Structure 1
């Protein structure tokens, strides 16, 4: 399984790097929507939105994304602040109460509320194909990847105290601690390289990164709970060794939305 995961990652990473540094803005917008759209498709399966209703839902969402791109619409700070409520209030409450995904229209609205802010964040963090914005977005995404890898190995090595056994039995508090340590070192490193390009001192960047690490854990747990409540192991089998696209970007969806909202509010 680990070998398959590594081989898949070795294929996907060059594709993402090429998209970040070589795709023109309109192709980047389409490529990033493909990622989000696939995750939305997998979410719709968990929500038991099927048949023509599912394809109609995905078509409407894609049309809305295309229209937003066409008219150069980007959400304001006030609109994006809804993401803070979703990930800092609603998602933790959802995990605490262990609600199932609602059916019908509420499920569709929830899917849009989860996915669209992440897509807008993809565009906002990387509005052109410049190396500066490409490195900045790569640094944000790297935070999620480092947290995931550090949590995995720390949990495998030291994990004894379960984080949320009823939701994701494999996750531990030791894994979270490993993620915190890994992210702290990573943020120091990329900030020293100048990739973050955020006018904040390291003494403020580190607490912000710790907060985003917590958000990434919430995003991961929420998708795990969606799968558990839907009675499935993986969101799909699109990525060998990794499950589905939503499995891979669950934390990234949360971190992108929250980081962009904070950037707008602090600007």
Structure 2
């Protein structure tokens, strides 16, 4: 199983890096469009839309993203839209998690499907905007989420005692959350130092935040983004647990589904984009 996970991860990272290394935005936009479309299909399956309905939801997400790319709507560059998205993740995410898995199926199915569609669409927009800023900026946000996840995993295994949300994800602990935050702060410090020592093509999110808000602001933002990555992870876990699913699908050998791999990215990238409007 471990070998399978490693091979799948290496293949995914290789494809991602190939799309990132192309100077134009469109290869990365196309790759991520495919990713969110598959995630839309998985979301439909997890929310009782049936085989055809799930496929239709995936196609809807893909069409929304493609039309957005074609039209380049000015609305998407309005700060209030992204502030509302951030508020929805903070307040709405907290509300959903507080109610637990048993309450999720009670929400109207149309509302759940619409929520997933908008969530994936906005994430795709934030991803493409991040690529436009530069590879270093985009990778710094990706690495923030990965650092939080890896540090939380090892910190939780080593020190985990108090369960974070046993009804949603029994394996997560508060100690894992704190470890993830420490990992993100270390990454931010190292990346900020690297930005000042070498030219990486574009500033990272850490250098941007530190330049605007100082070191104290950087700490606050990093802790907040690390916390929101946990919210995204728990939110998807809640949806899966509400229907008794272990993974969102079996598309990625050893890793489950696409949603299982991007769940923590869903709130972090829109919130990172929101910071650019301050």
Q: TM-score range by the shorter chain?
A: over 0.9
Moved more, 109-118 or 183-192: 109-118
Deviation at 1:60, TM superposition (A): 2.7
1:169 & 1:41 partners in 2: Cα distance? 26
Which of 102, 105, 113 is the aligned partner of 1:108?
113
Which of 214, 220, 243 is the aligned partner of 2:227?
214
Aligned residues: CA RMSD: 1.6
1:152 alignment partner in structure 2: 153
Which of 45, 69, 82 is the aligned partner of 1:80?
82
2:48 alignment partner in structure 1: 48
Moved more, 42-51 or 149-158: 42-51
2:258 & 2:15 partners in 1: Cα distance? 14
Deviation at 1:103, TM superposition (A): 4.2
Query: 8 Å contact 1:39–1:246 — kept in the other structure?
Result: yes
Which of 89, 93, 96 is the aligned partner of 2:91?
89
Write out per-residue CA displacement over residues 43-99 of structure 1, whole angstroms, 9 at most, x where no aligned residue: 111101123333333323322211111112251211122211221100111000123
Query: 8 Å contact 1:168–1:221 — kept in the other structure?
Result: yes
Query: 8 Å contact 1:83–1:257 — kept in the other structure?
Result: yes
Q: What's the TM-score once normalised by structure 1's chain length?
A: 0.92
1:56 & 1:240 partners in 2: Cα distance? 24
1:244 alignment partner in structure 2: 257
Structure 1, gaps ≥5 residues long: none
Aligned ranges 1:154-193 → 2 under 5 Å: 154-193=155-194
Query: 8 Å contact 1:188–1:202 — kept in the other structure?
Result: no
2:51 & 2:171 partners in 1: Cα distance? 33
Kindly tell me: are residues 109 and 118 of structure 1, through their superposed partners in 2, closer, same or farther at Cα, counting changes over 3 Å? Answer: same
Moved more, 95-104 or 146-155: 95-104
- 4+ residue stretches of structure 1 with deviation over 3 A? 101-104
1:142 & 1:220 partners in 2: Cα distance? 16
Which SS does the other structure have where 1:170 is aligned? Answer: strand
1:103 & 1:260 partners in 2: Cα distance? 30
Count of paired positions: 261
Query: 8 Å contact 2:44–2:55 — kept in the other structure?
Result: no
Write out per-residue CA displacement over residues 118-143 of structure 1, whole angstroms, 9 at most, x where no aligned residue: 1110111112xxxx701110000100
Query: 8 Å contact 2:38–2:58 — kept in the other structure?
Result: no
1:60 & 1:25 partners in 2: Cα distance? 22
1:109 & 1:100 partners in 2: Cα distance? 14
Write out per-residue CA displacement over residues 144-164 of structure 1, whole angstroms, 9 at most, x where no aligned residue: 000000000011111111111
Q: What's the TM-score once normalised by structure 2's chain length?
A: 0.89
**Larger relative contact order, structure 1 or 2 (CA cutoff 8 Å, min sep 6):** 1
